[in-house]
């Protein structure tokens, strides 16, 4: 292994070593001894962030397939930051939720390593391997609460449909290799560009199969069927993690493949993707309005947000590409924090998942109610939160590309989505109803994680320029 090879995999290697350290700590833990699993995870993720940032002014390729560029560094830092925030929100809450803590943190770290690999490779086969690494960890995390029938059912559905979509993706890779003789994205791109004027039907079929695989992972319609059940059945902390981390990693690989290697076929995939984006925004919003389970509502909200990000890919101009990265950051910090509040209010015997469970929260827990209100308003796109800025740049990119219908549809669905976000806010502040049961205390570290997210929501909403510049630098010269 050369120094370049080691540098290319350093962030993923550090996270993997962190996961191994957690497993070793659990293996040698005496009975009833408290081990600092959270600290080990934070050290691993912090090391990965530092290793990525130190490579910002370098560009290397390790093993011929792992690339260090601004794009991969942006996603490495974003995904590792999602992991850091998830761990902060989990301290004290995971134990109360009766999760096997060591396994929970180890599986999360292994999944994060797969997510980083997915955004850092320029080879279709390695993307598939990374996809399976992250998916296996998330499948187990979905059903990690062993005494939960709903969790077991959700994990089984997720696994079966995930395997089904992986088969589509692998067949797409096989067909792309049959046509081009390579799975490397840069070489595939040259082959595709050479045949763009006379497209091969097998290549078009490969493109469609790859699109199906990615659409499943980002919860795009009509490949979203697993999302509501998996989100509702999984522990709330796991739901927040997979709704943000998996989506970020999938969109990173999605952008690399379709905005780089398959960009010469844009005239073929753009109409398909535009229709999928429109249907995804509509279905996520309309079906979300009818939900009474907050986790299912946020699941359909996640589907709608995937549609907004797909609008940026369809636009495919420089503003749209940068807006995709900014939107993923905005969505990650906001959605993860919202699920963090839900997890902090939940207990094993009372999941606090129905809309009516939030009645009177504004009087009983004004701090938590205020935090959840901000996060919900950001998801709805209210200024001056980061959600408003993220949607503004996505829709502006669509308008600049003359995709007026998609932009209008995005605005209309955003307006409709405000209903189910405000429904919870109304329940918290305007319904004076005593909810049976006890709302547990929030651990100090988890509250600190929510406050960090709160600062990020307002800072990025009022001063988005620095992150937007980094996002623009991350896509410049790559797509």
d(CA 331, CA 428): 23
Distance CA 211, CA 342 (A): 33
- 182 is in which domain, residue-wise? 3-475
Q: Is the dihedral of CA 81, 86, 258, 322 positive or negative?
A: negative
Q: Kind and range of the H or E element at 61? A: strand 60-62
Q: Which 8-state DSSP code applies to residue 291?
A: -
Per-residue model confidence (pLDDT) at position 476: 81
pLDDT of residue 305: 94
Q: What is the pLDDT of residue 437?
A: 63
Q: What is the predicted pLDDT for the residue at 209?
A: 94
How far apart are the C-alpha atoms of 5 and 55, rounded to whole Å? 13
Residues 246, 248, 205, 281, Cα dihedral to 10°: 100
* DSSP helix/strand/coil, 431: coil
Phi, psi of 144 (to 5 degrees): -70, -25
For the purposes of burial, counting CB atoms within 10 Å of the CB of 405, is it exposed (0-12), middle (13-18) or buried (19 or more)?
exposed
What is the DSSP track for 226-274?
HHHHHHHHS-HHHHHHIIIIIHHHHHHHHHHIIIIITGGGHHHHHHHHH
Task: Give, for 67, the enclosing helix (H) or strand (E).
Answer: strand 66-68
In angstroms, the CA 264 to CA 174 distance is 19
CB of 96 within 8 A of CB of 347? yes
The domain total for the chain is 1
pLDDT < 50: residue spans in the chain? none
Q: What's the chain's length in residues?
A: 479
User: Smallest Cα–Cα separation from 227: which of 305, 171, 173, 327?
Assistant: 305
Say what the pTM is. Answer: 0.94
Residue 241's closest CA among 110, 356, 100? 110
Contact between 118 and 250 under an 8 Å Cβ cutoff? The reply is yes
């Amino acid at each position: 292994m050369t120094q370049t090879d080691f540098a290319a995999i350093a962030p993923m290697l550090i996270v993997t070593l962190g996961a191994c350290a957690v497993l070793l700590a659990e293996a040698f833990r005496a009975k009833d001894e408290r081990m600092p699993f959270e600290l080990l995870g934070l050290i691993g993720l912090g090391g990965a962030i530092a290793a990525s940032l130190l490579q910002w002014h370098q560009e290397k390729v390790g093993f011929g397939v792992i690339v260090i560029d601004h794009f991969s560094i942006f996603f490495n830092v974003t995904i590792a930051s999602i992991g850091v925030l998830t761990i902060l929100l989990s301290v004290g809450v995971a134990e109360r939720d009766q999760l096997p803590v060591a396994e929970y943190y180890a599986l999360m770290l292994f999944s994060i390593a797969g997510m980083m690999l997915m955004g850092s490779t320029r080879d279709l086969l390695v993307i598939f391997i990374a996809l399976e690494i992250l998916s296996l960890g998330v499948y187990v995390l979905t059903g990690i609460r062993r005494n939960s029938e709903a969790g077991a059912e959700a994990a089984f559905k997720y696994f079966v449909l995930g395997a089904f979509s992986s088969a589509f993706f692998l067949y797409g890779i096989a067909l792309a290799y049959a046509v081009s003789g390579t799975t490397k994205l840069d070489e595939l791109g040259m082959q595709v560009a050479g045949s763009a004027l006379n497209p091969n039907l097998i290549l078009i079929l490969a493109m469609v199969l790859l699109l199906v695989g990615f659409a499943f992972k980002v919860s795009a319609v009509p490949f979203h069927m697993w999302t509501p059940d998996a989100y509702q059945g999984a522990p709330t902390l796991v739901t927040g993690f997979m709704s943000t981390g998996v989506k970020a990693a999938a969109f990173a690989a999605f952008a690399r493949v379709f905005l780089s290697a398959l960009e010469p076929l844009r005239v073929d995939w753009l109409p398909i993707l535009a229709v999928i984006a429109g249907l995804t925004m509509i279905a996520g919003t309309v079906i979300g309005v009818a939900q009474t389970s907050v986790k299912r509502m946020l699941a359909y909200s996640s589907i709608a947000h995937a549609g907004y990000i797909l609008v940026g890919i369809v636009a495919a101009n420089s503003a749209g590409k940068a807006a995709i990265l900014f939107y993923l950051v905005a969505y990650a910090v906001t959605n993860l924090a919202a699920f963090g509040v839900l997890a902090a209010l939940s207990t094993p015997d009372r999941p606090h998942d129905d809309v009516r469970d939030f009645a009177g929260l504004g009087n009983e827990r004004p701090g938590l109610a205020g935090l959840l209100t901000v996060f919900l308003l950001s998801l709805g796109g209210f200024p001056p939160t980061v959600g408003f800025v993220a949607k503004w740049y996505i829709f502006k990119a669509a308008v600049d590309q003359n995709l007026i219908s998609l932009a209008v549809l995005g605005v209309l669905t955003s307006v409709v989505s405000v209903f189910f976000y405000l429904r919870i806010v109304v329940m918290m502040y305007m319904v004076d109803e005593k909810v049976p049961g006890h709302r547990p205390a929030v651990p100090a570290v988890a509250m600190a994680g929510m406050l960090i997210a709160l600062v990020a929501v307002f800072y990025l909403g009022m001063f988005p320029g620095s992150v937007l510049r980094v996002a623009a630098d991350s896509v410049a010269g790559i797509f």
